[in-house]
């Protein structure tokens, strides 16, 4: 590992990346925060301009922190930019520089340290929190809080309660370290990253993913010793902890690969996938881990990307419904994958696919953005739901658990009872 001075120089926007922006403004309309707020400093061009000023010596002030913080890191601007600006890399580096140069109040520091450094990497703590959440949900307390309006008395915390994921027992943690045989002859050997919170809140989605892969001739290994991917850490600028988690995941996967050739490492979470595919960016200074991170990256595939690249098992029953697809930002803009999920939806018999307007504009979920900036996130979600309602689907499919939670909240508030699912869950339905 390089010394801390090296890291300090790496964990901030690099001149070579900043210089790519020619300030043309062609990205402005693709930016949800600019569309909503109409403020140049909350546009990609405005944020890059502020990064340049800081790189030229202007001190990091509250205004800079706020404008960078309000960015969804959805990378919609990256797709719109004709100059190839890697905005995702820039905003993540800007947040790391802010994190390394900000003295937070004691409570905020303690809470951040607990969530990012203790809770997310720990299956034991996540299980304890998941169990408490489960009790809250099944004891009737949640219903009582919502029906009595007590949730509203909690103020901003009440709005966040509506966005909380549900706990699904049994949790998926018990499957970590297991290997599942393919149905029929083995065509591929894949490893699956199970996530962190997903083990609690998307345990059934993880199981559906394993089933669909097995139906397609995959032996599925859930590597032991894997942990949280660190995407939330990277987005929050906490890169030292992200590196610790990345090393653990790289070691876990490469150990499984050494034990028997793996064809692909699979994730069903587009947000995680983006970070997992960019692990090499965390180790640009690290001669030992850079080649390992590159090897890991070469194996990493989103589940839709993988399934669309193989000869799909077409032995499916019809799913008679109208479906639309919400692009997950980190799949469409981060990983440049747009056609694979649509191709899979079109492969399901009975399913009628209807494209929705502005399907690749962020829904406002953006990791924990909806929890930190609930008001703006809800304004963005309301616009998304207007486009959903215009399309009139029965099902909204997407490719990221965080987007699913956000869209479910949107359906509860502005929808027409649409079902929100992951693309893989529809395939699973068709196979069963």
Residues that bind ligand SF4 (CB under 6 A): 21-27, 30-33, 44-45, 47-48, 71-77, 80-81, 83, 85, 87
CA 409 vs CA 31, 128, 367, 412, 415: distances in Å:
22, 25, 15, 5, 9
Asked if residue 388 lies in contact with residue 396, where contact means CB atoms within 8 angstroms, the answer is yes
- Would you say 70 or 242 has its CB closer to ligand SF4? 70
Nearest residue to 156 via CA among 377, 421, 415: 377
Instruction: Please state, in angstroms and rounded to a whole number, the distance separating the CA atoms of residues 427 and 10.
Output: 42
Asked if residue 117 lies in contact with residue 153, where contact means CB atoms within 8 angstroms, the answer is no
Least spacing, CB of residue 366 vs ligand SF4, in Å = 8
Helix (H, G, I), strand (E, B) or coil at 145: helix
Least spacing, CB of residue 351 vs ligand SF4, in Å = 30
Least spacing, CB of residue 377 vs ligand SF4, in Å = 11
Total residue count of the chain as it appears in this document: 432
- Would you say 20 or 285 has its CB closer to ligand SF4? 20
Least spacing, CB of residue 137 vs ligand SF4, in Å = 32
- Would you say 202 or 369 has its CB closer to ligand SF4? 369
- Would you say 74 or 307 has its CB closer to ligand SF4? 74
List, in sequence order, every residue forming a beta bridge with 1; answer none if it has no partner: none
Asked if residue 32 lies in contact with residue 74, where contact means CB atoms within 8 angstroms, the answer is yes
Least spacing, CB of residue 392 vs ligand SF4, in Å = 27
Helix (H) or strand (E) segment spanning residue 156 = helix 156-161
Question: Considering Cα of 129, then 130, then 136, then 142, what sign does the dihedral take?
Answer: positive
Instruction: Please state, in angstroms and rounded to a whole number, the distance separating the CA atoms of residues 311 and 307.
Output: 8
- Would you say 42 or 286 has its CB closer to ligand SF4? 42
Helix (H) or strand (E) segment spanning residue 424 = helix 423-431
- Would you say 10 or 85 has its CB closer to ligand SF4? 85
- Would you say 72 or 388 has its CB closer to ligand SF4? 72
- Would you say 27 or 272 has its CB closer to ligand SF4? 27
* Residue whose structure tokens are 């692909």: 264
* Residue whose structure tokens are 């995702």: 88
Least spacing, CB of residue 230 vs ligand SF4, in Å = 19
Asked if residue 170 has a cis previous peptide bond (ω within 30° of 0), the answer is: yes
Which residues does 367 contact at the CB level (< 8 Å), separation at least 6?
73, 231, 232, 235, 271, 402
Instruction: Please state, in angstroms and rounded to a whole number, the distance separating the CA atoms of residues 29 and 25.
Output: 8
- Would you say 44 or 367 has its CB closer to ligand SF4? 44
Least spacing, CB of residue 232 vs ligand SF4, in Å = 16
Q: At what angle do helices 62-69 and 44-55 cross, to 10 degrees?
A: 140
Instruction: Please state, in angstroms and rounded to a whole number, the distance separating the CA atoms of residues 401 and 421.
Output: 9
Least spacing, CB of residue 81 vs ligand SF4, in Å = 3
Q: Nearest 5°: phi and psi at 117?
A: -100, -20
Asked if residue 139 lies in contact with residue 167, where contact means CB atoms within 8 angstroms, the answer is no
Least spacing, CB of residue 99 vs ligand SF4, in Å = 17
- Would you say 274 or 313 has its CB closer to ligand SF4? 274
Least spacing, CB of residue 21 vs ligand SF4, in Å = 3
């Amino acid at each position: 590992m390089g010394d801390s001075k090296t890291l300090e120089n790496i964990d901030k926007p690099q001149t070579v990346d900043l210089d790519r922006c020619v300030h043309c403004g062609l990205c402005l309309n693709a930016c949800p925060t600019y569309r909503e707020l109409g403020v140049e400093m909350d546009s990609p061009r405005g944020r890059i301009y502020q990064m340049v000023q800081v790189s030229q010596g202007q001190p990091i002030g509250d205004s800079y922190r706020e404008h960078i913080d309000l960015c969804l890191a959805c990378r919609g601007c990256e797709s719109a930019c004709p100059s190839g600006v890697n905005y995702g890399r820039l905003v993540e580096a800007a947040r790391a520089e802010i994190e390394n140069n900000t003295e937070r109040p004691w409570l905020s520091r303690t809470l951040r340290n607990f969530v990012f450094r203790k809770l997310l990497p720990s299956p034991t703590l996540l299980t304890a929190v998941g169990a408490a959440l489960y009790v809250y949900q099944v004891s009737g307390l949640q219903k009582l809080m919502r029906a009595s309006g007590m949730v509203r008395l909690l103020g901003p915390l009440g709005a966040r309660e509506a966005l909380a994921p549900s706990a699904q027992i049994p949790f998926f943690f018990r499957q970590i370290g297991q290997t599942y045989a393919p149905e029929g002859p083995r065509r591929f050997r894949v490893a699956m990253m199970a996530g962190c919170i997903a083990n609690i809140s998307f345990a059934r989605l993880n199981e559906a993913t394993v089933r669909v892969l097995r139906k397609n001739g995959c032996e599925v290994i859930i590597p032991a010793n894997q942990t949280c991917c660190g995407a939330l850490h990277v987005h929050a600028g906490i890169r030292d902890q992200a590196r610790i988690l990345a090393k653990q995941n790289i070691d876990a996967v490469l150990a499984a690969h050494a034990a028997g050739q793996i064809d692909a490492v699979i994730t069903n979470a587009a947000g995680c996938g983006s970070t997992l595919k960019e692990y090499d960016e965390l180790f640009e200074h690290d001669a030992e881990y850079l080649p390992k991170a590159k090897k890991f990256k070469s194996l990493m595939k989103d589940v839709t990307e993988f399934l669309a690249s193989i000869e799909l098992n077409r032995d499916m029953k019809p799913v008679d419904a109208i479906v639309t697809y919400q692009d997950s930002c980190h799949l469409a803009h981060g990983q440049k994958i747009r056609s694979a999920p649509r191709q899979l939806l079109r492969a399901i018999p009975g399913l009628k696919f209807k494209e929705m307007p502005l399907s690749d504009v962020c829904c406002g979920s953006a990791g924990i953005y909806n929890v930190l900036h609930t008001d703006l996130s809800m304004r963005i979600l309301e616009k998304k739901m207007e486009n959903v309602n215009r399309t009139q689907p029965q099902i909204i499919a997407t490719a990221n658990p965080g987007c699913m939670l956000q869209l479910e909240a949107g359906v509860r508030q502005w929808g027409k009872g649409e079902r929100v699912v992951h693309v893989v869950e529809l395939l699973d339905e068709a196979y069963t």
